[in-house]
A and B are shown apart, each in its own frame.
Chain A
Amino acid sequence: EPEVTQTPSHQVTQMGQEVILRCVPISNHLYFYWYRQILGQKVEFLVSFYNNEISEKSEIFDDQFSVERPDGSNFTLKIRSTKLEDSAMYFCASSWYTEAFFGQGTRLTVV
Chain B
Amino acid sequence: AQSVTQPDIHITVSEGASLELRCNYSYGATPYLFWYVQSPGQGLQLLLKYFSGDTLVQGIKGFEAEFKRSQSSFNLRKPSVHWSDAAEYFCAVGGGGGFKTIFGAGTRLFVKA
Contacts and interface: CB of A to CB of B under 8 A. Distances in A.
Interface string B89-105: 01010011110111111
Instruction: Give the size category of B's interface with A.
Output: 20 to 34
A43 B43 CA distance: 11
Contacts of B98: 30-31, 48, 50, 55, 95
A100 B95 contact: yes
Interface residues of A, number: 26
A98 B103 contact: no
A41 B105 CA distance: 7
A98 B32 contact: yes
Contacts of B105: 41-42
Contact of B100 (A45, A96, A98, A107): A45
Contact of B44 (A30, A55, A95, A102): A102
B41 interface: yes
A99 B42 CA distance: 20
Contacts of A98: 32, 51, 96-97
A21 interface: no
Interface of A: 30-31, 33, 35, 41-45, 48, 50, 55-56, 91, 93, 95-100, 102-105, 107
